Chains A and B, each alone.
Chain A
């Protein structure tokens, strides 16, 4: 089967609407298709990978730990827009340390999150062949 560049653009906060959860469900299923997968986090989407999420008060499942498992599915390109973080008073330290293991380098742990500027994000999006927007 042909390999294409798939991009999942996450724009919404993790709770409040179901978009983030159902986007993650697509990413996990898609991993079985052995495509080249990237995720983008822009606008309120940056909150999806924020540290210390606690849903006790809202009766919803806290699915944030699932992002840490993405590396096991060879999903290790998580692009986060710098301006979206800044506009919300967030920095790289506010994000979960999502890692993946590089089997070509003796399973060395490497960070999956890459913070990029808005202009860089535009270039990354332009390179994609299939883009899903959530």
Chain B
């Protein structure tokens, strides 16, 4: 089955960020296809590379990044939600005249149309949030 997954909450703040990661991993292990993972609301914070949790804790952003590399996943951060919360890729940072970017490898920034397209193209859309 082909899935699009929407992640609406931030890492550490809310378990749904972990649950979404576990769901995607389990779906891939069962041979399903992940068409896209779309990060919205505070979920965009799953895509920062500037995060240093305590050493004995998981690094959720890195786990997404690793999973993306391993399975060639399409991880999309919503640009409107990202701009509000200070998530920038290099191109967007430059366009906005800012001095830094912070997106971790494996994620890309794009528009809400990517979420709707995911809904149209996939057999199931699964939302993880509060």
A residues sitting closer than 8 Å to B (CB atoms) are 1-2, 4, 6, 18-19, 22, 25-26, 29-30, 32-33, 35, 130-134
Contact = CB atoms under 8 A, between A and B. Distances in A.
B41 A26 contact: no
For the complex, would chain B's binding face be called helix, strand, loop or mixed by DSSP majority?
helix
Given A29-B112, A30-B116, A131 B127 contact: yes
A30 B127 contact: no
From A18, A132, A133, residue with most partner B Cβ within 10 Å: A132
26 contacts: A1-B120, A4-B119, A6-B119, A22-B41, A22-B81, A25-B80, A25-B112, A26-B40, A26-B112, A26-B115, A29-B111, A29-B112, A29-B113, A29-B116, A30-B112, A33-B117, A35-B116, A35-B119, A35-B120, A130-B119, A130-B120, A130-B125, A132-B115, A132-B125, A133-B127, A134-B129
A4 B127 contact: no
Interface string B48-72: 0000000000000000000000000
Given A19-B41, A133-B127, A4 B112 contact: no
